[in-house]
Chain A
Amino acid sequence: MPTWRPSCATETLRARADMLAAVRAFFAERDVLEVQTPMLGSHTVTDPAIDSLRTTAPDRHLQTSPEYHMKRLLAAGAPSIYQIGPAFRRGEAGRWHNPEFTLIEWYRLGFDAERLMAEVADLVDALLGSAAYQRLPYAELLRHRFGNEVAAGDQEAILAAGRGRGLQDDAGIDEAMDLLLADAIASIKARRIFVSRFPAAQAALARLDADGSAARFELVVDGLEVANGYHELADPDELAMRMDADARQRRERGLPAVAPDHALLAAQRHGLPDCAGVAVGFDRLLALKLGADAIAETMAFSWERA
């Protein structure tokens, strides 16, 4: 019999409300406009590592992030915008994951990854108190943890390191890389660190810089991934190619097919203004503020009790 009681303490409700108010005050002061976009969309993300919850309403998906809708607003002429709301990812349940969670997502016109990282640091300082931030390029992070060969992309070394962390013998190179990155992030001891300059294969929806690395960054606080941001890919042809690549990977891994979002493609053909965007895990930030042991302790009702 599941308990009827909330998963967080009553005083945590207050801390959550205070933090929501602080986020809104932060963006109001910077003249970033709050928006609300649909939770139920006709399309969803093609990323093979993200599984959406499909609803019984025909062809409606609970959104895994508000990214596509917010980019359509930007293409239509919206100024810099932010949103605080629920996001849904199927199967992501664990100590630091809840299939329904709260994202702070925002887009800044005219910003690049550098300027957005500075603003993410300002927000985290405002919510958790000030601290120093370190910068670590992706390759450097891997070198620290796994040595030169892994950092240089040596396939044998990557597979061997993956197996050394308990990965099965038949695991592929992508799988091993994902595991090593997760391991390296969890091993970061510095309190706040930005990982930047991701390899092109992990660009997601970031544009590529002149040196071929992706203009993507992550913020890790106390070993916990709290933000993922891009200098956004604007080129619609490149976007269509990446969606095709996602579809190919989904086929290869036997994952359900996801149709590309033609509304997003059309919006970017119309023109996505030069901008940078980032998603921040609100519940994880609250957990860090409260010193919580699991994400469930920050939520009124976690997945098991909802």
Chain B
Amino acid sequence: MASYSTNEFRPGLKVLLEGDPCSILDSEFVKPGKGQAFTRVKFRNLKTGRIWERTFRSAESIEAADVLETEMEFLYADGEFWHFMKTDGSYEQAVASAAAVGDGKNWLQEQEVCNVTLWNDDPISVTPPNFVELVVAETDPGLRGDTAQGGVKPATLSTGATIKVPLFIEIGDKLKIDTRTGEYVSRVKA
């Protein structure tokens, strides 16, 4: 496996740290005039999303991680795993665990194209599009005409996720949702 020396560290480089794939966010050479040299590095752990800081001796090296970020189409969930297919025409498929899909499972519907991070060809994180359109499966009856006030109620979507929606929303309505915040944006005209 390839490795990178501290002087090759660049933002975006994918490396293995304590067994986990990480992306380098920032790398700074640190050296007092009369002291030893260090490289101070900020990483994002690609599995957990956590930020790690480490300090390396100069010229120390760490292992490269075989990480690929790619677009994949969501095919189906079988109750345990989520199945994706590459959109590059290769039809290659990959199977993601619940941990990799994370909160994304709230927003995934078939044929949605997601950003998938593959580590040694296995998905380790799935990012759905920023906005998705999903149908309301269940909610209390709508209050006709009440479109002005700020009241909200819970609504369950076709994916099983529950979000807060305005009072006028009814079962069968299609909603635009911001997947980064999990918030209702608007009703989509049929």
Contact = CB atoms under 8 A, between A and B. Distances in A.
A166 B18 CA distance: 13
Q: For B7, B32, B38, B39, which residue has the most chain A Cβ atoms within 10 angstroms? A: B32
A47 B34 CA distance: 8
18 contacts: A49-B35, A91-B59, A93-B7, A97-B29, A165-B55, A168-B55, A171-B57, A174-B36, A178-B35, A179-B36, A179-B55, A181-B32, A182-B31, A182-B35, A204-B34, A218-B33, A225-B33, A228-B34
A113 interface: no
B188 interface: no
A94 B29 contact: yes
B85 to A, nearest CB: 37
A95 B28 contact: yes
Contacts of A50: 34
Contact of B40 (A166, A174, A185): A166
Contacts of A154: none
A167 B55 contact: yes
B37 to A, nearest CB: 7
Contacts of B50: none
Interface residues of B, number: 21
B54 interface: yes
A122 B54 CA distance: 39
A291 to B, nearest CB: 19
A179 B37 CA distance: 8
Q: For B7, B35, B38, B59, which residue has the most chain A Cβ atoms within 10 angstroms? A: B35
B31 A181 contact: no
A49 B29 contact: no
A60 B29 CA distance: 27
B31 A92 contact: yes
Contacts of B64: none
A49 B37 contact: yes
Contacts of A178: 32, 35-36, 38
B59 A182 contact: no
Given A49-B34, A178-B38, 12 more contacts: A91-B37, A93-B7, A97-B29, A97-B31, A165-B53, A168-B56, A174-B36, A175-B36, A175-B57, A178-B32, A179-B36, A204-B34
Given A91-B59, A165-B55, A185 B32 contact: yes
A202 interface: yes
Given A166-B53, A175-B57, A179-B55, A93 B36 contact: no
Contacts of B53: 165-166
B57 A92 contact: no
Contacts of A218: 33
Interface in B39-72: 39-40, 53-59
A279 B39 CA distance: 24
Contact of B37 (A92, A185, A279): A92
A171 B37 CA distance: 13
B13 interface: no
B135 interface: no
B30 interface: yes
A94 B33 CA distance: 13
A228 B33 contact: yes
